[in-house]
């Protein structure tokens, strides 16, 4: 018998050891799994962080340049005649050189091999006295002659694929024939032109006199041939000696600059001078060019500065030519001798008298590249259309071909976060506008409106959602009957499962028009609902106890349901009469005309209501759990010492639950900041900086969702969107870090309660 008991005890002890061993194994496995899961989350976050950095780093890399080839002009079978113009075709494989004798040479940029050489059809014994380029994009050239004539020519590059090999054949086109257009009867010393589908305008200085001619293009609808019909064009007299002429792309505005720095702006349609002044206080104008698009002018001075000027049209004021910004070329104040602009970006190259080259982006005010080109002075310089190559000629008769890497010149700290004065704007604003229908567009990549819109949307969402969620959590966890709590809490948490795209759809298509139609009702609800609830509570307390006892303790909120419905129905039922009585029948018009407050149908108030509805479940669930988890003995002890339930709530329960409540608010804020679909569908997605609750906005998340599918991979726009994602990532990271620090401090502070 004793032996059996011993065996049983041994078996029991062995079983106990096995169970303990299995329990330890499960504990270790759980710890390992949880640790692995936590580490995996951290690794995933770090991978996202480094991937975003990987996409961002190219934005801030400086430009680089590499010399590919140098060869003498003599290799082009040319005499030592100074050049008028240097350019390249799209692929930067073929260079074009026009000299002062009217000889145009086409050559390969890789080795300087001459492909063809064409002489312009100039009149006999007539010299070229001036040159003008219509624009870098069209490459239509005009040469002014000593007899007052103007010849228009254009290089062309025909691409064919014999034997599946690309072949570029350069040609010279004469779009208006071999006959010169007669501008006057003397030497043409300055020249400007603009050619459109409907007209051609040429302005020049002939024997010191400003002359202008305009030809309308008349197309025969049967043959399709176009002929030129001369139209009289009158110019007002100018009181300066022109050294530079610049004609706007719309053929309306003529800029006349003198070497001393005086300017006159002439409206060709009105035949009047609309502005005058000086582009520099001292020194001389050494060069002047239109920036891409022909809206603003670059003026180089003999003191080493390049300034950008634009004709600004402010309301109720005459147009004014204003200086937008100024760039210092080099550090020694040497005269700027050459200017060249890119064909497709707001970049330009300036070369001073010491052969110091600076590549600058005008919009971003960013100096992308600085090069010392040696000892020989430059006599001509040209960009490739893609901006990836540079061709220049030096005074010793050498041509130099450089390859340039300059992927994202328009991005700078100021362009992203500062005010930038964009072309045609009356003043520097914060603006996001990433694309346009024209190639002359000036990209606007300011993240300030997007960051502001993100905070604006989150603020209004938290303004509505946080008080309702926290107060609801307090009542549900502390005052509500357990049976009612079991029904209410899951119902509110079920709201979190509702897709935000549905909320956005409802907000955009139903809520926004409803709010616009019932503005007085909306504001009445916000004012009368709290008052009505408090009045009902007051009157309920006046009801005899014998009646109140029929409602079990903690079930009183059920009585509020008809009260809330009744107040809401009353407010919206009286919305139209109130609107007619106090706001002239239309509160929206009253806001706009009487208060000067603009109103958009899809605005921040609609977003606040919809996003507030979306963040309430997150905040409520976490805060309610935190309050309900406060140990009951703390509440019972406080009540036993004579404190009222409200005193216990405020002095014991809420401080103890404060870490959880704070975490709930931060998680709700993070949800509001990162929300995409509701903001995308419930606002006008206008990237503006206006705190007005009746104006829309665009958030970082919504902007990424809208534009990432349309952008070109690896473009500046593409990488700036990744930068927006990085800003959003860092914002949430900082907010969560601060929240954790505050939560830990609150926990340590109230752990002694």
Binned at pLDDT 50, 70 and 90, residue 437 comes out as: low
Mapping DSSP to helix (H, G, I), strand (E, B) and coil, where does residue 200 land? strand
Nearest to 460 by CA among 537, 534, 526, 387: 526
Binned at pLDDT 50, 70 and 90, residue 518 comes out as: confident
- Would the pLDDT of 451 be above 60? yes
Per-residue pLDDT, 598: 86
Q: Do 485 and 478 contact (CB within 8 A), yes or no?
A: no
Binned at pLDDT 50, 70 and 90, residue 133 comes out as: very high
- Would the pLDDT of 179 be above 90? no
- Model confidence pLDDT, tens digit, residues 592-633: 888 888 888 888 899 989 998 889 999 999 999 888 888 888
Pseudo-torsion of CA 80, 84, 90, 91, nearest 10°?
A: 20
Residues forming a β-bridge with 331? none
Span 405-419, mean pLDDT? 89
Per-residue pLDDT, 223: 61
Binned at pLDDT 50, 70 and 90, residue 684 comes out as: confident
Q: Which residue has the higher pLDDT, 438 or 551?
A: 551
Per-residue pLDDT, 439: 62
Mapping DSSP to helix (H, G, I), strand (E, B) and coil, where does residue 739 land? helix
Span 703-728, mean pLDDT? 89
- Model confidence pLDDT, tens digit, residues 247-279: 999 999 999 999 999 999 999 988 899 999 998
- Would the pLDDT of 1 be above 60? no
Q: Which residue has the higher pLDDT, 374 or 246?
A: 246
Binned at pLDDT 50, 70 and 90, residue 348 comes out as: very high
Per-residue pLDDT, 330: 64
Mean pLDDT of the chain: 87
How far, in Å, CA of 296 to CA of 325, rounded?
11
Binned at pLDDT 50, 70 and 90, residue 298 comes out as: very high
Helix axes of 604-628 and 654-674: crossing angle, nearest 10 degrees: 150
Span 500-516, mean pLDDT? 89
Per-residue pLDDT, 500: 86
Per-residue pLDDT, 397: 87
Per-residue pLDDT, 315: 75
- Would the pLDDT of 13 be above 80? no
Span 196-221, mean pLDDT? 87
Q: Which domains, from first to last, does the chain contain?
A: 122-152+172-278 (2.130.10.10), 456-698 (1.10.3720)
How far, in Å, CA of 232 to CA of 213, rounded?
7
- Model confidence pLDDT, tens digit, residues 39-83: 998 898 889 999 999 988 988 888 899 999 999 988 877 777 889
Span 737-750, mean pLDDT? 78
Q: Which residue has the higher pLDDT, 583 or 145?
A: 145
Q: Which two tokens stand for residue 616?
A: 């309430």
Torsion 713-714-718-719 (CA) sign: positive
Per-residue pLDDT, 271: 87
Per-residue pLDDT, 222: 65
- Would the pLDDT of 750 be above 70? no
Per-residue pLDDT, 20: 78
Percent of the chain with pLDDT over 70: 96
How far, in Å, CA of 171 to CA of 116, rounded?
9
Binned at pLDDT 50, 70 and 90, residue 177 comes out as: confident
Per-residue pLDDT, 221: 66
Per-residue pLDDT, 753: 53
- Model confidence pLDDT, tens digit, residues 198-207: 899 999 999 8
Q: Which residues contact 209 (CB under 8 A, 6 or more apart)?
A: 184, 186
How far, in Å, CA of 441 to CA of 485, rounded?
59
Nearest to 175 by CA among 203, 202, 156: 156
Q: Which residues contact 746 (CB under 8 A, 6 or more apart)?
A: 658, 659, 662
Pseudo-torsion of CA 291, 294, 299, 305, nearest 10°?
A: -30
Per-residue pLDDT, 554: 75
Mapping DSSP to helix (H, G, I), strand (E, B) and coil, where does residue 358 land? strand
Per-residue pLDDT, 440: 67
- Would the pLDDT of 104 be above 80? yes
Percent of the chain with pLDDT over 90: 28
Per-residue pLDDT, 203: 93
């Amino acid at each position: 018998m004793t032996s059996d008991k011993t065996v049983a005890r041994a078996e029991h002890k062995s079983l106990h050891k096995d169970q303990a061993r299995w329990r330890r194994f499960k504990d270790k496995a759980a710890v390992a799994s949880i640790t692995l899961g936590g580490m995996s989350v951290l690794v995933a976050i770090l991978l996202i962080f480094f991937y975003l950095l990987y996409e961002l780093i190219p934005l801030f890399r400086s430009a680089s340049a590499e010399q590919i080839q140098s060869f003498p002009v003599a290799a082009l079978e040319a005499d030592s005649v100074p050049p008028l113009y240097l350019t390249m075709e799209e692929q930067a494989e073929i260079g074009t050189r026009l000299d002062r004798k009217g000889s145009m040479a086409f050559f390969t940029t890789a080795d300087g091999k001459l492909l063809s050489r064409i002489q312009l059809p100039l009149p006999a014994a007539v010299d070229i006295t001036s040159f003008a380029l219509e624009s870098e994009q069209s490459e239509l050239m005009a040469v002014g002659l000593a007899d007052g004539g103007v010849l228009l020519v254009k290089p062309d590059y025909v691409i064919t694929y014999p034997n599946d090999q690309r072949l570029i054949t350069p040609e010279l086109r004469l779009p208006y024939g071999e006959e010169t257009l007669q501008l006057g009867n003397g030497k043409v010393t300055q020249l400007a032109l603009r050619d459109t589908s409907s007209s051609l305008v040429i302005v020049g200085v002939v024997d010191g006199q400003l002359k202008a001619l305009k030809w309308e293009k008349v197309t025969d609808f049967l043959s399709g041939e176009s002929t030129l019909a001369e139209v009289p064009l009158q110019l007002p007299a100018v009181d300066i000696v022109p050294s530079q002429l610049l004609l706007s792309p719309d053929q309306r505005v003529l800029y006349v600059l003198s070497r001393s720095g005086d300017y006159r702006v002439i409206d060709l349609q009105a035949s009047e001078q609309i502005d005058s002044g000086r582009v520099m206080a001292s020194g001389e104008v050494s060069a002047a060019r239109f920036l891409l698009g022909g809206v603003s002018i670059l003026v180089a001075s003999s003191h080493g500065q390049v300034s950008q000027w634009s004709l600004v049209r402010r309301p109720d004021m005459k147009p004014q030519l204003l200086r937008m910004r100024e760039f210092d070329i080099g550090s020694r104040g040497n005269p700027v001798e050459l200017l060249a602009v890119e064909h497709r970006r707001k970049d330009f190259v300036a070369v001073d008298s010491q052969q110091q080259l600076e590549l600058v982006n005008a919009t971003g005010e960013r100096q992308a590249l600085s090069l010392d080109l040696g000892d020989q002075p430059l006599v001509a310089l040209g960009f490739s259309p893609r901006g990836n190559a540079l061709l220049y000629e030096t005074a010793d008769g050498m041509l130099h071909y450089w390859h340039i890497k300059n992927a994202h010149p328009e991005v700078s700290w100021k362009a992203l976060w500062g005010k930038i004065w964009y072309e045609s704007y009356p003043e520097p604003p914060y603006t996001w506008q990433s694309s346009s229908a024209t190639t002359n567009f000036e990209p606007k990549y300011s993240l300030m409106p997007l960051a502001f819109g993100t905070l604006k949307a989150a603020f209004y969402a938290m303004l509505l959602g946080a008080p309702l969620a926290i107060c609801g959590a307090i009542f549900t966890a502390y005052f509500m009957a357990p049976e009612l709590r079991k029904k209410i809490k899951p119902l509110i948490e079920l709201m979190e499962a509702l897709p935000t795209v549905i909320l956005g759809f409802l907000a955009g298509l139903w809520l926004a028009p409803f709010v616009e139609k019932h503005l007085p009702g909306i504001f009445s609800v916000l004012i009368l609902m709290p008052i009505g609830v408090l009045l009902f509570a007051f009157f309920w307390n006046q009801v005899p106890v014998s009646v109140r006892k029929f409602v079990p303790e903690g079930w009183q909120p059920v009585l509020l349901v008809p009260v809330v419905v009744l107040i809401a129905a009353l407010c919206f039922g009286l919305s139209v009469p109130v609107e007619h009585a106090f706001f002239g029948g239309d509160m929206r018009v009253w806001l706009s005309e009487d208060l000067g407050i603009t109103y958009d149908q899809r605005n921040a108030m609609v977003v606040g209501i919809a996003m507030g509805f979306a963040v309430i479940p997150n905040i409520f669930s976490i805060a309610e759990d935190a309050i309900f988890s406060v140990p009951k003995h703390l509440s019972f002890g406080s009540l036993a010492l004579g404190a009222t339930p409200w005193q216990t709530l405020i002095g014991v329960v809420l401080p103890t639950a404060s870490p959880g409540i704070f975490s709930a608010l931060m998680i709700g804020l993070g949800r509001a900041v990162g929300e995409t679909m509701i903001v995308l569908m419930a606002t006008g997605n206008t990237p503006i900086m206006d705190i007005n609750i009746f104006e829309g906005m665009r958030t970082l998340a919504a902007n990424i969702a809208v534009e990432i599918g349309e952008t070109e991979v690896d473009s500046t726009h593409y990488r700036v969107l990744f930068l927006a994602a990085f800003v959003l990532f860092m914002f949430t990271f900082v907010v969560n870090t601060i929240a954790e620090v505050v939560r830990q401090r609150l926990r340590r502070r109230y752990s002694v309660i």
